[in-house]
Structure 1
Amino acid sequence: MGHAPLNVSALRDRLHQLASREGITQWDLGASRSNSASVQVDRGEAKQLKASQRSSITVRVWNRDGLVGITSTSDLSDAGLEKALMGAHQASAFGNADDVPHFSPLAKAPTDPLDRPLKNSEGIQSLLKNLLEAEKELLSRHPAIETVPYNGLNEGSSERIYLNSDGALRQAQRTQASLYLFARAEEAGRKPRSGGAVRLALGSAELDLNGCIDEAAERTISHLNYKPIDTGRYLVCFTPEAFLDLIGSFSSMFNARAVLDGVSLSKADTIGQQLAVPFFNLIDNGLHPAHVGAMPFDGEGTPTRALRLIGDGRLESFLHSEATARAFGVQPTGHAGLGAKVSVGPDWFEVHRSEGATLPGDHLDHRTTSDSFVLIESLNALHAGVKASQGSFSLPFDGWLVNGGERISVEAATVAGDIRELLRSIVQIEADPIVTHEGVCPHVWVDGLAITGEA
């Protein structure tokens, strides 16, 4: 699919020649290229057809004083590379002496093999035909479903490269496809209700279209019979997607860059502290077999690996780039981007319970429990309602009040709390891990969460 892979050996040789001609002895280059085709539809008509190609190249040069300059380009011709090297070299005179990145010590370490066969593209006409059929099928599921206002079908390929003057040479390719369907239902005299679903795959032919339609229809229809909820404290069960969204919003807790910048709940000495209930485990596993977007190395060339962030409730690790790892005296973890200030971010979360642990809410199961509880399906307004550096959240949600197995959709309500209290108030992590489009997680139960009903 898309363009032929770059010849990285030839690219490295050209850079070596250009650099030595300019008297540059230390440099590196990170590049990512992608192309994608996407379609959106509206009531049986094509709404948007889009094909795009992107490439971004970052070149860093260290000068004789050890200061680094950085430049970005999208031009891989000899003239473009020479211009980028020269620009970075000139910029290095103004480099920040207090924050000098180095090469990752693991940039030449072996990477784990990734079993991600590249898939052929189906083409934009095939995408359009499939999405029109999916929209038509979803609209037919219930008379109240009038529109599918948010929808999209996308396929594409991408390539990542890292090389440096020390001999590091990394290259990886992947293909990926995604589908999302978000339906809106309206009944006379009632508020509009909505629900949606997402599917990812290595190629668009492998996407589970029917599963996506079924889930979007089921979620939308289940919210039609809604009622207000009383304000109070509730036993709450989070769906895997909702819990992963919440944890992801507070990922600065595990981010060494955020710790060093003073914008994280964690401090350097938080490692080893009890952060959650003793049966809670969180792993960042960018190599998980279900992670469609996996890459074998990060922006600095460090191999991707599974990293235990929380083990038996204790904070065990931070996510590191080369620079943060050096500051903490540890190895980089494979979570870095490459830029003027190297960013750090998570890949793919896995949540699971400790083996053999006795949980206070072991009898709780979202399918069979007779207890009264609130099932939170999805959290909204995460960017506005989360104060990550303070730990607090106040978020509108979609979900149901479940009583004796009967589900009644919650009309409008907000769940609020503190992430540290929430992690210490978990009473049950169900045994079945569920693969979602953003990680692996079972249903997670938390007791005593504050819910405000909106009349």
Structure 2
Amino acid sequence: MADHSLDTSRIDASRLRGRLEDLAHGLAIPQWDLGAACSTDTSVQVDRGEAKQLKGAQRSSITVRVWNGDGLVGITSTSDLSDGGLARALASAKEASAFGNPDDKPAFSPLSTAPLAPLEQPLCPPQGILTLLGTLKEAERELLGRHAAITTVPYNGLAERSSERIYLNSAGASRHQKLTTASVYLYARAEETGRKPRSSGAVRLAYGADSLDVAGCIDEAAERTIRHLDYAPIETGYYTCCFSPEAFLDLIGAFSSLFNARAVLDGVSLSTRESLGQPLAVPFFQLHDNGLHPGNVGASAFDGEGTPTRRLALVENGLLANFLHSEATARAFGVAPTGHAGLGAKVSVGPDWFEVSGTGGQADLDRHSADGIVWIDSLSALHAGVKASQGSFSLPFDGWLVKGGEARSIEAATVAGDIRSLLNGIIGFEGAAKITPDGLSPYVWVEGLSITGDS
């Protein structure tokens, strides 16, 4: 018996569309859409030169929505692409539509048939699990050899993925995207006699495992771990802080409800409808969401509703410029969808990839020669330490206290504050913007943050 579950080697969007149209017509369904995603994943982990975990997985999901004559929506999920499976999914969604929420009636995105921006995304052949294992073993061996104190690399992984996405609807939308990605992460642990263990790491992304910057990942993980060996406590107080690009982007991501129209409508955002055009940050601060940036490995050309991905200004010259929208939230605000929707019973909204920039503020900032500043390298416990609807945060961090140009690792500390005060406390940017897995940002300097030392 043939296997009709979702398979990346078999998806023919035009043929699938024709089958859906025929099946929907036979079931008297005038309006429907379908979103599908599938992937083939291979990953490895090692422990002291031996294989710790070798994993291969195929993941797939199909979401079908059907509208009834009253405009109510029913939704169902399946992984069966046979005619029988699709017919059952359509019939189930049609039955479910009778119980649809009359206060939440999603529609097709008016941009679901608009042209898509081209993406330069090479499709790379898989290297295979044994090749991945050999590469990761060698990376672990080299990282362990960088310093006598580095005794283990407890968290590590090398993975490659081949994925495919489809969006189709009865109004003529036909979206299809294939993508290959790979990632490596190395998180080292160092121990010295009579001292607390210290840890740090690095991650790299690429379109294929053969083009991953494994050497750069080793160098960064080793350098950051070694720099944390000589640590000391910090006195509790208020400090000027320099956030690494990764740390600042993590913080912005934790408070992304500021820009989320769904969160605004649900009353769980600090922003309101009236916030647009109002000051949010210092006048020289700019923030964009740009899923199409060439540095965004894994970029999607369209969102869950088929709306094209595009660059969107969120904060311009310190003013809140736009919200992230789905079709439904855009309709409520009287604007166009922005390409940030998921697909589900209640359509979600979320950011893609942030760009932080700005010209202005204090010039010639240099964290290496500063005096009395805290250099925040990475933040922890973001889910527990952030109260997004209130704007407050209290987060453990790894970093250094810089005095007289000398940086010394901080034993343990938390940084606390309010996101709005932080955005208005930015005094400038240091260096060129750096590409990270979550976005693009320079080092960001902020004055007057509360640091609590563990002493």
Shorter chain as normaliser: what TM range? over 0.9
Instruction: Supply the distance in 1 between the matched residues of 2:26 and 2:277 (Cα, whole angstroms).
Output: 50
CA offset digits 1:291-347 (Å, max 9, x no partner): 001011000000000000000100000000000000000000000010111110000
CA offset digits 1:30-54 (Å, max 9, x no partner): 0111111000011111000001111
| Aligned twin of 1:433 | 433
Summarize the alignment of residues 118-137 of structure 1 with structure 2, pairs less than 5 Å apart: 118-137=123-142
Q: 1:144 aligns with which of 144, 149, 163?
A: 149
Quote the RMSD (CA, aligned, Å): 0.9
Deviation at 1:3, TM superposition (A): 3.4
Instruction: Supply the distance in 1 between the matched residues of 2:443 and 2:370 (Cα, whole angstroms).
Output: 16
| Aligned twin of 1:419 | 419
| Aligned twin of 2:345 | 340
Instruction: Supply the distance in 2 between the matched residues of 1:298 and 1:159 (Cα, whole angstroms).
Output: 13
| Aligned twin of 1:444 | 444
Instruction: Supply the distance in 2 between the matched residues of 1:319 and 1:225 (Cα, whole angstroms).
Output: 43
Deviation at 1:372, TM superposition (A): 2.1
| Aligned twin of 2:313 | 308
Deviation at 1:5, TM superposition (A): 5.3
Deviation at 1:363, TM superposition (A): 2.8
Q: 2:77 aligns with which of 37, 62, 72?
A: 72
| Aligned twin of 1:364 | 365
Secondary structure in structure 2 of the residue aligned to 1:302: coil
Structure 1 regions of 5+ residues with no counterpart? none
1:430 is aligned with what amino acid? Answer: E
Query: 2:52 matched to 1:47?
Result: yes
CA offset digits 1:74-121 (Å, max 9, x no partner): 111111100100000000000111100000000000010001111111
Instruction: Supply the distance in 1 between the matched residues of 2:21 and 2:121 (Cα, whole angstroms).
Output: 32
Instruction: Supply the distance in 1 between the matched residues of 2:150 and 2:214 (Cα, whole angstroms).
Output: 18
Query: 2:242 matched to 1:241?
Result: no
1:362 is aligned with what amino acid? Answer: A
Q: 1:206 aligns with which of 208, 211, 236?
A: 211
Q: 1:270 aligns with which of 257, 275, 295?
A: 275
Q: Which runs of 4+ in 1 moved over 6 A?
A: none
Deviation at 1:153, TM superposition (A): 0.3
Secondary structure in structure 1 of the residue aligned to 2:432: coil
Instruction: Supply the distance in 1 between the matched residues of 2:165 and 2:276 (Cα, whole angstroms).
Output: 32
Pair 177,281 (structure 1): closer, same or farther in 2 beyond 3 Å? same
Instruction: Supply the distance in 2 between the matched residues of 1:162 and 1:87 (Cα, whole angstroms).
Output: 19
Q: 1:62 aligns with which of 60, 63, 67?
A: 67
Q: 2:228 aligns with which of 213, 220, 223?
A: 223
TM (normalized to structure 2)? 0.98
Q: 2:30 aligns with which of 25, 28, 34?
A: 25
Query: 2:121 matched to 1:90?
Result: no
Percent identical pairs in the alignment equals 68
| Aligned twin of 2:21 | 16
Aligned residues: 449
Query: 2:105 matched to 1:105?
Result: no
Structure 2 regions of 5+ residues with no counterpart? 1-6
1:390 is aligned with what amino acid? Answer: Q
Summarize the alignment of residues 276-287 of structure 1 with structure 2, pairs less than 5 Å apart: 276-287=281-292
CA offset digits 1:138-170 (Å, max 9, x no partner): 001111111100000000111110000111100
Secondary structure in structure 2 of the residue aligned to 1:17: helix
Secondary structure in structure 1 of the residue aligned to 2:147: coil
| 8 Å contact kept, 2:324–2:350 | yes
Instruction: Supply the distance in 2 between the matched residues of 1:414 and 1:319 (Cα, whole angstroms).
Output: 31
Secondary structure in structure 2 of the residue aligned to 1:432: strand
Secondary structure in structure 2 of the residue aligned to 1:340: coil
CA offset digits 1:279-301 (Å, max 9, x no partner): 00000000000100101100000
| Aligned twin of 1:174 | 179
